[in-house]
Structures are given as C-alpha cells and as structure tokens.
Structure 1
Amino acid sequence: MNLGICSRSNDVVEPMIKPQWFVNCHTMAKAGLDAVRSKKIEIIPQQYEQDWYRWLENIRDWCVSRQLWWGHRVPAWYVTLEDEQLNDLGSNNDRWIVARNECDAMLEAQKKYPGKKFQLNQDPDVLDTWFSSGLFPLTVLGWPDDTADLRAFYPTSVLETGLDILFFWVARMVMMGMQLGGDVPFQKVYLHPMIRDAHGRKMSKSLGNVVDPLEVINGTTLEDLLKRLEEGNLDPNELSVAREGKKKDFPDGIAECGTDALRFALISYTSQSDKINLDIKRVVGYRQWCNKLWNAIRFAMGKLGDHYTPPATIVVSSMPPVCKWILSVLNKAIGKTVTSLEAYKFADATSAIYSWWQYQLCDVFIEAVKPYFFNDSQEFDSARAACRDALWVCLDNGLRLLHPFMPYVTEELWQRLPQPKDSCRKNSIMISEYPSVVKEWADDKLESEFGIILDTVNKLRPAFALCRGEDIAATVQCYQSLVVSLSSVSSLKILAESDETPPDCSTAVVNKDLSVYLQLQGALNAEAELEKLRKKRDEIQKLQHALSQKMEASGYREKAPPSVQEEDMRKLTAFFEQLRVIGEAEKKLDA
C-alpha cells in the first residue's frame, strides 16, 4: 500500500506547501465488493449490503492526513540537503521519503542522495483514525511479523459493531486486510442498532437524554441525574431543557436494574433493526423477571429436598402428562433458540427463552405440579419422583439456555442445583455444554392437547366445558384436574352437545369444538357478553377473509403444494365453524 502526496483540485495534481497524504482505494474497493458479492464476507442484517455497495462503488482517494494532537505520526520524512534551509516543510514533493521508521528513511535517503549531507524531518501530521484502526485485525495477531497467532487465527470469524461505521471502519479493515494480509479479516459482520431514548430521539447532552449504562445497572436518584447535568458544560438554555427532560423521563430516578437485565433488554431490542428506542421501564421489567427466576429455584430446592440426586437419564414415557409436556415445549424452546443464534436473530432467541420460562415453566408447570407435592399420599410417590426429575431437568437446561444473555444470575442459580452422581458436570455454567434438542422429548400431539386445555383456562377459567365430539371430550376429561388447578375453580363439568347449557353464564369460544362457561355470582351482563362475542367474531372474520383472499389469488392452485392447500381448506372450514358457534351463542344471549 503506497502513500501518495498531492493536492487535488479537479483531479489535477499540484505541489502544495502543506502536504496531504492520500491512498488510492479503487483496487482495494473492488476486492471488498467482490468479497461481499461472493459471500466470502456476510453482512448481517443483509439489508446493509446495499450501503456497502453504495460506498465502495463510489470510492475516492482517501486522505489520511490529520492535524490532531494524537494518533500515529505519518511515516514520511522530508529531506533537507546541506546548505538548504527548511523554510516550508513539503515545498518540494520529490524530497519526501516514506518508510517504516526513521532508520529505514535514513537508508533510503542515503541511496537517493549518495555522498550528500542532509537532515530528515518527519511530517507533524498524524494518520486518520480509521487508517490506524483499520489495521486492527492484523496488528492484534502480530502483523507485520509472521506469527503463529496470525497463521492460526487470521481471518477471524465474526466482527460486531455499530451500523454507523460500516464504511468508516469495517470497509477500511476489509480493504487493508485483503491488501496487507492477503485475505478478508473476518467472515461475518454483525451490525447492531443505534441506541436512542424512549421517544426515538438521538441521545445528546443538550437534550439531557443521554443514559449512562452504569446508572441503569446501579440505579440513581433524580437529584444525582440533575447534579451530573449541572457539572457539565452545557449552555444555560440547553441546561434548562435538559433538566426538564430528566424530570419528565425519570421523575423517581432510575431503579437498580443490574447488568443481566440491561443486557437482556438490549438484546431483545435488536428486532427494531436500525435503532433501539430504550425504555428504562422495560429494563426494570426484566430486573423483576430475575426475581421470578430466583423464586423458581427457591421452589425447586424446597421440593427437591437436601438428599435429591438427579438421575443420569430420565424415562419420559413413565412420566405424568404435564412432565412430558414441559419437556416437549422445552425442546421447542431449545431448538428455536439455537437456530435463532445461528441466524444472528438474537431477539427471537430471547423471546423463545423468556416465553418458555415465564408462560410455560412458571405459569403452568410449577403451578400444575404443586398438588403432587402438597398431597402426601403414597399413590403419588411415583408421580412426585417424576415431577422432581422433570423440574431439575428443566431448571438445569433452562439456566444453561439463558446463560449467554444473563451470565451472572444464571451462574449463581445453577451452582445451587443438585449435581448428578458420578457426573462430569463442569465447575461453571460458563464452560458447560449448551443445551441441544432431545428427540425423545418431542410430543406434538401432547402439545396440541395442552394447547386446547390452556386456551380453555385462559379464556374464562370455566366451570363448564361444552365439547362437540368425543375426541375433544376425552382430551378435556384427561386434563380435567389440571384445568381445575390452573383456573382455581371448585369443579369443571363436561357437557355434551346435547346437554342444556347453564343459564346466567359468561361464555367464550375456544375453537369450533369447544366452548366454556363460567357461572357468575351476580346478574349476567348480556350486553357485555355480547360485546366479547362480537370482538371474537370480528377477529375470526378477519382471519377467514385473509385466508380466503390467499386461496383465491391468481396462481394459488397451480403453485401451492397439495398439502398446503389441504391445510388451508381445513383452517377455512374451522373458521366457518367457529363463526357458526359464535352465532349460536349470540342468539342465546339475545334470547
């Protein structure tokens, strides 16, 4: 890579008093374009590839001279011959020598001016920051020496950085790495979003909306937030605006959130693509969720007991249905998390983990197994043992699954879990194996059945369930005690289609085969119940209309696979059936 000295005006090279150093980037830019086009480098998210092409296809010579107080000095020395005075450094472009250091420059000058006495003066300018940092992938591995690290680790695998410096830093590293290292410096580039305030505004001192991560981690008062503003150098008018902004956004200061909650919140925000509108309330919510994790471990430790030893393997087939179900949905969460991480869709990974922990493990499984532990009858001994094993497996896998996102709390909680006998368990969760899918745990049929039951519970927490068909009646009958436990009703009566529906009940339609009723204590508000049914009907009609449009679209019957067409027809029929059931419920309420 050669430095050229010139002044540019309409592409005419002219001598200049103040030297400016340029790098011709056209050849290197072409190599950078080819590296992305050939997928030797993958830019994630892919939408930023267009920015890459736009920058490098319109590349110009790069001026690397900077008049700053810090940085790497330009490696160029000006030769002043004997009997000449150094009036203006750089007045003669031919006198410049570019070399690695002053000794090399001296040898080069002696060759260029043999037998003459001279003086060397280094250019006082420094190199552009991006020129120096563009060498980062090479220099950290010992370049320009041929080191073992350079041979082993170059090119590296992934670079993670902000999308705003895709050209300034990433492109420069690629161009210089390919020119000087002979290969791309990394195979993947992950660009994270830019963090803004909760209102979507860029963080700036004048607005007073800059959030210090340490203030979120450790917490702070409004008084301290205002004090920090006053210790700055803001203009009085800007200070007034900043103070009002702090008072509005943080009237009670910032609660202590901890590192894990902040990390999890930022990762979950990456679905917003190019920016993160950071709402501290969301971080506080994840801090409170950490308490939920502690409570789950506390419950488990109380039920596992001091003498519990996890088995080396578990036999899923002999477990109660709720244990089989939680392992099956854990399997789904593991698969979703792993595939999301591999695709760099980190927000999807956090969503899968959070949903499993919150809505399936804590809200359903832990509540569902409590009766097994509160009943000391010997007939539940086998079920209790299975619940203990399933609980331990869930917490062990769940904490390892969550660990990359919340390293501190998961390490602390994982260390409290009992260890299997004669196991090769690691001393730290950090070096433990990441969870992987277990085929034996998968049970789609059971998950489907549980989906119906949980929909039933979530609709109205019913006292009656009207089943239209033997299969659905058998499913509800099988999980009747689970529905009662989760919905906190005294009993659940299963009705056949020929049975009279109970009067003065709140009604909800789970699906075309199942409606649920809750006996009310006071008078039935028919208008309110009708409004709920109308909303449900509108929701189903929108889904039915969208599916009908899809099926009536040009080319659907020719292009869609038969299995897809059959599934769509099944869904459409189910929508019509649900609308019919809702219509019947509305007629009864009108009567």
Structure 2
Amino acid sequence: MDKTFDPRRIEAHWCSVWEQGGYFTPETVAELRGMDRAQAQPYSIAIPPPNVTGTLHMGHAFQHAVMDALTRYHRMRGFDTLWLPGTDHAGIATQMVVERKLAAEGVKRVDLGREKFLEKVWEWKEYSGSTITHQMRRMGTSVDWSRERFTMDDGLSRAVTEEFVRLHEQGLIYRGKRLVNWDPTLLTAVSDLEVESKEENGHLWHFRYPLTDGSGYLVIATTRPETLLGDTAVAVHPEDERYQHLIGKTVNLPLCDRAIPVIADDYVERDFGTGVVKITPAHDFNDYAVGQRHDLPILNILTPTAHINDDAPAAYRGLERYEARKRIVADLDALGLVEKIDDHKLMVPRGDRTGVVLEPFLTDQWFVDMQQLAARAQAAAHDGRMKFVPENWINTYDQWLNNIQDWCISRNLWWGHRIPAWYDDAGNIYVGRSEADARARAKLDASIPLRQDNDTFDTWFSSALWPFSTLGWPEPTADLKRWYPTSVLVTGFDIIFFWVARMAMMGLHFMDDVPFREVYITGLVRDSEGNKMSKSKGNVLDPLDLVDGIDLEALVSKRTSGLMQPKMAQKIEADTRRQFPNGIEAVGVDALRFTFLALASTGRDIRFDAARAAGYRNFCNKIWNAARFVLMQCEGQDCGQDCGADGAQVTLSAADRWIISRLQKLESETAELFRSYRFDLLAQALYHFIWNEYCDWYLELAKPALQNGDASAQRGTRRTLVRVLEAALRLLHPLMPFITEEVWQRIAPLAGANGASIMLQDYPQANLARVDDAAEADIDWLKTFILGVRQIRGEMDISPGKPLPLLLQNVSAADQDRLSRLEDSIKFLARIESIQVLGESDTAPQCAAALVGQLKLLVPMAGLIDKDAELARLAKQISKLQTDMGKTQARVENPNFGKAPEAVQQQARDLLAKQQQELTALQEQQEKISQL
C-alpha cells in the first residue's frame, strides 16, 4: 500500500471498475453472487429525480449518501436490490433557466417560436443532465445506470398521457374557469404549494363608498386598492348591528359609475377595519367563495401581465397594477373619498421561482378532483401500509390532505408534457392518447380541424407516477412486478405535499398499492451557523468543492459571481473569508459521505461544518494506516486461515477474544440501526469501534503476542487482526465505499475471503455465541489500568517513553488474577519496568496516584521529576493563561460585544470556557505536585 491515503486516485479507479463490472445492476450482482433471484427478497429505491436546472447541491449529496448506504447494505444482505436513477424536466424552473440564457443573448422565447425554443431546452437538458450524472458517479452513487429514466423520455411521456386520459375517463379530471395563483412574470398558473407567503410592510386604505340613496357612505378597508375596479359587492357580517339596516341596499362604486349591492356573509370579520369589506370575486380567493354563495358577477380587470384590461374604466386601461394603485388612490383622494391610510403588516404571496407578487387570476385550467384520491392516500398512512420515519411527519401529511383543494394541473408553459386535448372551432374538447385517438373516440370527421391545447402539465403531475412509471407502467413489465411497491422513499419534509402525498394518491389509484412501504424524512442541510443554504445568501457549498478542495479566492469568486448588488457581494465575500480563511480542504468522497450520515439525526436539519468533514478525512487516514500496519505484520505470514478458532494450532489472547466479542455486538447493533434509519448512531458506533477499539487499543494489545508470543499465539493474533479488519471494512462499506474497497482488496486474501469486490460480499451478521463477557471485563480492567498510568504521566509531565516503577495497593484476588494473566500487556503498553504489590503494612514513598476501582496505582516520584522546576513551569503557564483569559473576558463583557454576529459571540464564549477548563487542569496539576 502507498504510505499516504490518496482519495482522488482510488475514487477514480473504483468508480470505473464498479460501473464497468455491472455491480450496480441486479441481474449482474445475482450472477456474480450465485444468487437465485426468484428466492431473493426484492428491495428497491426510486431516486427523487434532481431537476435538470443545474448541478447537484448539498441536499442531493446528503440524501444520496443515505440512499446509497441503504442500497449497498441490502445488496450485501442478499436482497435483489435496485436503486433506480433519473432526472426531472422541472417545467417552470428549466424554462426560466433557458429563457434567462436567451435573454442574455438578446433573444426572447416568442421570437424563436415553440419548436425552436424547445430545441434550446433539450440542448440545456443534455448539458445539465450529463453534469448531474457526472457528479453522481464521482460520489460513488451505486444506481443502476442501465435503467436511468427522464420524466420526458418516451416511456414516461406515454405514462403521463395514460394517466391523464384514464383520470378524464373516470371523471376525475375536468376543465373549468376558476381562480388560480398566477405568476405575471412566468405567465402561468402555479399551485398553492409554489406560493411563498411572507409578512411584509404595507398599507391599509380606508375608502368611502357612497350609498346610492344619498343617505351617507360605507367605509371599506383594503390592502389592494387597484382591485376596486373589479368589485361586485360590499359585505358586512349578518349579526353586525351597525349595518343590518343597510343589507340589500346598494352603493355607488367609486370611479366606475355602477352600483353594487350590500350583502351579509359570515366571512366578514366584524373587528377588522370598519367591519365592511369590498368583494372582488375575480381577484381574491375568499371573495370568490363569497361570490359563489351570493351568485355575484365575476369581473376580471387584469391582463395576464398584471396590467389593467379593457373591462375597467378607460382612465386606467393599460396601467401596470401598482401604477394603477397610485392613480386610483390619488383620484379617490381628489374626490374626498379617502378616509385614512394606516401602516399595516400583511402576508404577501410571492412565486417561489420568480419572487414576484402573485395574483389570484380567473382563467380556464385543467383540474383533478382530489377528494377520492386523498381519502385513499390518507387511509394507507394510518393502516400501516405506508410508514413515516420519524412517525410525527404523518401529522404534516394529514394536515394537507384534510384541507385539500382540487389540483390545477395545467401550466401555461412550452416545456413539459403537452396536454393531450384538442379543440374544434366551436370550443368542444376532445381527449385522447393522440389526435387520431381523440377523433376516433368522438367519431369525429377527419375534415373538422382540431388544434391541440397549448398548455403543459404541472411537473408534479408526471412526478406523481415516478415509482411505477420508471418501472414500465402502463405496461405490466417484469420490473414493475418485481420492484413495486418500492421499499423506501428518502426525501425532505419540504416536499411531503408536493410529491409524497401525490405519489401515494396515484400509486393507490393506478396500482392499487402504496408506492413505497416507508418514507424516511430528512431535514434540510444548513450552513454551520444554521442558515438555509441559498445562492442569494452566498452560503451554498458545492459537494465536489469539499471532495476536491478549493482555494479561498476561487471560493469567493464562485459565491459572488453574477451578483448585481455590490453591497451583497461585499457581505458574501466577507462572510466567506471569515468562515473559510484558508479555503476548503479536500476531504474526498468517503469523508463527505460519512459526515452527512454522522449528522443524519432523524428528521432534524443538518448544520454542515466543513471542519467536521476534514475530521473524517483523518478517520480515513486512520483506517489506511491501520491497514498498512496489519499488512506489515501479516503479509507472507501464517494467518491461520485453515485453523479452527479453538483449534490447537491457534491460541486467542484475551485481547483477541475481546475484539471478536466487541465485533459481534457491533454487527448486531448495525443491523438494528439500519432498520431504524439511525445513521447518526450507526456512524458513531462504527467510528468508535474502528478508531477507538480496533486502532487505538487492539493494534497495541496485539503487539505483545506478535513480538513475544509463541507460534500459536502469533497465528491467533494475526488471524484476528485480518479477520476483524476485513469484517469491519464490510460493516463500514455502505457508508464509506471507496476506502473500504481499496483496503479490502489487500486484506481479504489474508482473511480467507475472495471475490471481485467488497460490495459482492455478505454483510457481517452477528454470532452472539462468540460474545465473551469475561474477555471484555478483562480488557476493560486493563484499559482502565493503562489509562491510570497515562494519567499520572500526563499530570506529572513524565515522558511517555520513560519506563516507570509501579507500586500497587488494595490488590484484590481478581486484580491479582488479572495481573498474572495480563502482566505482559501492562508492561508493554504502559511502559512499566517493574510491578510491586504492597502489603497492608507497607509504607509507600512519595508517589503520584490513580485508581482502578479500589486498586490504587502508585508511581514513586523520586528521580522522575524536578519538583521545583515543574512548579516554576506550571506557574509560568498559569500566568500566561490568566492574562489571555482576562483579554477574552474583557471582550465578552464589552457593551458593544452584543452587536457582533451571533456566531462571533459564541466563538468568544467557547474560547473563554476552554481557557477556564485549561486553567483548572493546570491548577490541579500544580496542587498535586506541590503536595509531593
């Protein structure tokens, strides 16, 4: 093995070997493992398809690490395992990206025409899609590339058409004129789930509406004066005594020269404003419902671009909505009809893609009747067919389904699945799988011209089919029969509404079964300070920048490029230089994946810290160096491959039996942690065993037998060294695939294992008969003993290599027994030159002491340290630390300190706590030495 671990080299090598070998394809794996697929239990995951709008982000990398761990684990367990990859066409997002690229060239979509524009989008898809798959391959994602799908490939496009036609035949899809959320920039309807409502500062205008009979006026309050032009009533609460006498009368609508009725409706809040509200059914969802109840006219006064249309008074036609607002308020003020204007906080709906304020807009769209579909999806989550992990997310799922509205599935876009509906000149609608099919269904004469609907489907309409359309539906394929329902969906809580619920509805409707047995909900990946990662904040991290490393200047340039606002760019640059003063260190894929999994506490957001990933790079180095040690000790040596564990030719030491016992418990624990999706605890358990127990302790405990043991003991320890390491590599492989494969290839022959790849091996299963409580108790005692001696060395500042005499007091019979059996290990590991057991009447000289239970360890200080010199050294250290603490304390107590960023404040508080801890330790050491 090379002296140093080079992740880039081994990642490139094994990515190629795995993919070329077909190790991600179920059929190939079964052949190589000699597995009967008919008898194997199926396990499948359909990847949440990334949008072809750019590159993979940290959220993708996190979820892919989870899915890959599950896939590799089940593949090694002998399941017939499929992880199916693919990408989503992302209608709105992708069309936006391409339109922006064209705009930079001075070209508009409409200038190109639909056909030429779609050619440009397909070009972008090929570029972006290849970038995404390259990133996935770099990350070791073990998906079956031979089954890769795209939501607009021929098969999935056919499935979406089939979905629409069948639902239409069943009366669950209809076309109607209804109020929708409208994006005046994208010029399309968007779903409720694509609306981001945030509280913003605004105004509440109070206007006077004169009563038609001249008896006075009503004062209404509104946050959107421009919609006044579309009012068709004013409303009061039916029990509001102030206005009961006016119900049924009319008011003159200012600026519009028409009278509208005063109506009574429970919707009105008596305590809001004046208790009188304007009703604009075409421009407010609540008003639309009121209008339906009272059979009010519906008057749309906006164009698709949010300008005033020709149904409004001539003075305002063509004005942009906010310009019209200013003109209307000014005109009302001139007429003496403005009562007052108050500052007001209100919820403003903005499009999650464009950020522009959305308008409730009356338009013809296609809708799905959701009530029946939602009821089945909700029942499946409560009767055990579909389980949420963590379970509390079922409440979020229920909340939406309990209040579900019909789903607007049409989008006024060019990119996407075009709606398979055709219109004749009379406005009649014909639905079919093709124009010919639509004509045949309607028995329509070929001479009658038809035009296809220009709109496309909401992206989620196709994504709702993903778990079964990717397996070949509507055809009854072998893949569909084998792997549907899928085993688990790994996804974020933010798309439970968008995607999880809709897949459940469509899976149950078309397949009569849930699309997945379990839904593992992950948190969001945030930056180290807890902020959501976004381009606008400049805190986005590219997973490959962590894998390969990036210098500070390149990182600053990457984060600030394209920003139009200089102040924002300056802030992002300052934040970047503060967080990453030396750039980002290359950590490799394994360390990054392990970081994600170590942070994956169920359902909680992840605060990603690049420093932690660098720490797990050290874990890789630890494994690498441990493997080099084992190879140096075992290559070319008899490692007992042909000997029974208890045979005469192999003797196992207490340390051998201890590490074997600990391995069995780890194997049992990993199985449970995979089952419960506790990847954080799984990573912790594997890290502790490999770093602390195997590397730090067992490799040291093995040295006495290797150096001084007889042939049988040496054989037993070599056998244990390679077999435990080989099993540990298999345990770790789903989390860290690259380093485990590379090291396993060197270790496996020594352990008696064979095969082309670690991923084709069995995942270790516990043999609880090999749990050895006695050996574990012995080694726990030995570890405490050695740590006691090391504690004395540390407190007295004695060199680790200096041999020590050791005196023992309060020695029990059990201690005496262990001393006789483990004396060689004690002397070797603790660097002890002699051990003397003191009797009850013996007097110990001046000693430093430590306890092992009731056993007292004593190290005579005579000749080991210069007491006066040590006290002088400690006094100097304490004085310097107290000075440093004083500076930190003054900084924290400075009145202006609270103005610093919270992260900076916490950093100072943490430093102060650390300094206090160090000071306490030095003072304790000073006290002990002064008493010698």
Q: What's the TM-score once normalised by structure 2's chain length?
A: 0.52
Match of 2:282 in 1: none
Name the CA distance, whole Å, in 2 between partners of 1:195 and 1:496.
61
Question: In the alignment, does 2:625 pair up with 1:295?
Answer: yes
SS at match of 1:415: helix
Give the counterpart letter for 1:339 in structure 2: E
Q: Is the Cα contact below 8 Å between 1:174 and 1:185 reproduced in 2?
A: yes
Contact 1:208–1:229 at 8 Å: present in 2 too? Answer: yes
Residue in 1 that maps onto 2:705: 372
**1:140 corresponds to which residue?**
470
Alignment partner of 1:75 out of 420, 427, 431: 420
Structure 1 residue corresponding to 2:484, chosen from 137, 154, 179: 154
Give the corresponding residue for 1:434.
763
Q: What secondary structure is seen at the aligned counterpart in 1 of 2:601?
A: helix
Over residues 148-203 of structure 1, what are the superposed CA-to-partner deviations in whole Å (9 max), with x where a residue is unaligned? 22222211111112222122111111111101111111111112221111111111
Q: 1:96 aligns with which of 429, 447, 458?
A: 429
* SS of residue in 2 equivalent to 1:19: strand
Tell me how large the CA RMSD over aligned residues is: 2.9
Give CA-to-partner distance per residue, 1:252-293, whole Å, 9 cap, x none.
111111111111110111026421111111111111211111
Amino acid corresponding to residue 22 of structure 1 in structure 2:
F
Q: Does 1:3 align with 2:166?
A: no
Deviation at 1:457, TM superposition (A): 2.2
CA positional deviation for 1:122: 2.2
Map of 1:356 onto structure 2? 689
Q: What's 2:392 paired with?
A: 47
Q: Which residue of 1 aligns with 2:908?
A: none
Q: Which residue of 2 aligns with 1:443?
A: 772
- Is 1:481 matched up with 2:824? yes
Q: Which residue of 2 aligns with 1:411?
A: 741
Residues in 2 aligned to 1:523 and 1:267: alpha-carbon distance in whole angstroms = 49
Give 5+ residue unaligned stretches, structure 1. Answer: 82-91, 529-585
Larger RCO, structure (CA 8 Å, separation 6 or more): 2
* 1:23 maps to amino acid: V
- AA in 1 matched with 2:376: A
Bigger share in helix = 1
Amino acid at match of 1:473: Q
How do residues 222-237 of structure 1 correspond to structure 2 at under 5 angstroms?
Answer: 222-237=552-567
Inter-CA distance 252–281: structure 2 relative to 1 (3 Å threshold): same
Is the counterpart of residue 242 in structure 1 residue 572 in structure 2?
yes
Contact 1:309 1:420 in 2 (8 A): yes
Distance in 2 of aligned mates of 1:49 and 1:473: 58
Q: Which residue of 2 aligns with 1:575?
A: none
Is residue 639–residue 719 contact of structure 2 (8 Å, CA) maintained in 1?
no
How far apart, CA to CA, are the structure 1 residues paired with 2:558 and 2:588?
Answer: 21
The answer for the alignment partner of 2:545 in structure 1 is: 215
Correspondence for 1:342: 675
Inter-CA distance 495–350: structure 2 relative to 1 (3 Å threshold): farther
In structure 1, what is the equivalent of residue 184 of structure 2? Answer: none
Kept after mapping to 2: 8 A contact 1:320/1:383: yes
Counterpart Cα distance in 2 of 1:466 and 1:167: 68
CA distance in 1 between partners of 2:567 and 2:544 (Å): 27
Query: For 1:383 and 1:3, how far apart are their aligned partners in 2?
Result: 76
Q: For the Cα contact (< 8 Å) 1:205–1:234, is it kept in 2?
A: no
- Which residue in 2 is equivalent to 1:546? none
Aligned to 1:195: 525
- After superposition, the C-alpha distances for 1:179-232 in whole angstroms (9 at most, x for unaligned) are 111111111111222111111111122322111001000111001112213433
Deviation at 1:488, TM superposition (A): 3.1
1:22 aligns to what? 367
Q: Is the 8 A contact 2:704 2:824 kept in 1?
A: no
Greater displacement, 224-233 / 247-256? 224-233
The aligned counterpart of 1:176 is 506
Counterpart Cα distance in 2 of 1:459 and 1:61: 70
Q: 1:313 to 1:102 in 2, by over 3 A?
A: farther
1:454: how far off? 1.2
2:784 equivalent in structure 1: 455
Distance 1:45 1:312 in 2: 47
| TM-superposed deviation, 1:312 | 4.3
CA distance in structure 1 between the aligned counterparts of 2:530 and 2:643, rounded to whole angstroms: 50
**2: CA distance between counterparts of 1:408 and 1:43?**
31
Aligned residue pairs, count: 512
Greater shift, 230-239 or 456-465, is seen at: 456-465
CA contact (8 A) 1:79 1:109 kept: no
CA distance in 1, matches of 2:757, 2:825: 37
CA shift digits 1:112-149 (9 cap, x unpaired) = xxx69533222222211111111111211111122222
Deviations along 1:373-431, whole A, 9 cap, x unmatched?
334xxx6222111111111111111111111111111111111125269x672221010
Corresponding position of 1:508: 850
Q: CA deviation at 1:510?
A: 3.7
Instruction: Report the Cα distance in structure 2 between the residues aligned to 1:392 and 1:119, rounded to whole angstroms.
Output: 77
Give 1:80 deviation, angstroms. Answer: 1.7
Q: Which amino acid aligns with 1:455?
A: T
Distance 1:220 1:427, change over 3 A: same
Q: Tell whether the 8 Å contact from 1:162 to 1:192 is kept in structure 2 after alignment.
A: yes
| Aligned 8 A contact 1:158 1:187 in 2 | yes
Residues 491 and 249 of structure 1, relative CA distance in 2, 3 Å threshold? farther
Structure 2: unaligned runs, 5 residues or longer: 1-166, 180-287, 301-361, 793-805, 875-926
Candidates 724, 727, 744, aligned match of 1:397: 727
Q: Secondary structure of the residue that 1:198 maps to in structure 2? A: coil
Letter aligned with residue 829 of structure 2: L
Work out the CA distance in 1 between the residues paired with 2:584 and 2:421: 52
Distance 1:308 1:477, change over 3 A: closer
Residues of 2 paired with 1:478 and 1:457: CA distance? 15
In 2, the alpha carbon distance for the partners of 1:405 and 1:313 equals: 32
| 1:130 to 2:460 alignment | yes
Structure 1 position 77, deviation (Å): 2.2
| Partner of residue 665, structure 2 | 332
Q: Say if 2:390 is the partner of 1:60.
A: no
User: Does the 8 Å contact 1:55/1:167 carry over to 2?
Assistant: yes
Contact preservation (8 Å) 2:432, 2:438: yes
CA distance in structure 2 between the aligned counterparts of 1:509 and 1:37, rounded to whole angstroms: 56
Is the counterpart of residue 33 in structure 1 residue 375 in structure 2? Answer: no
- Kept after mapping to 1: 8 A contact 2:388/2:520: yes
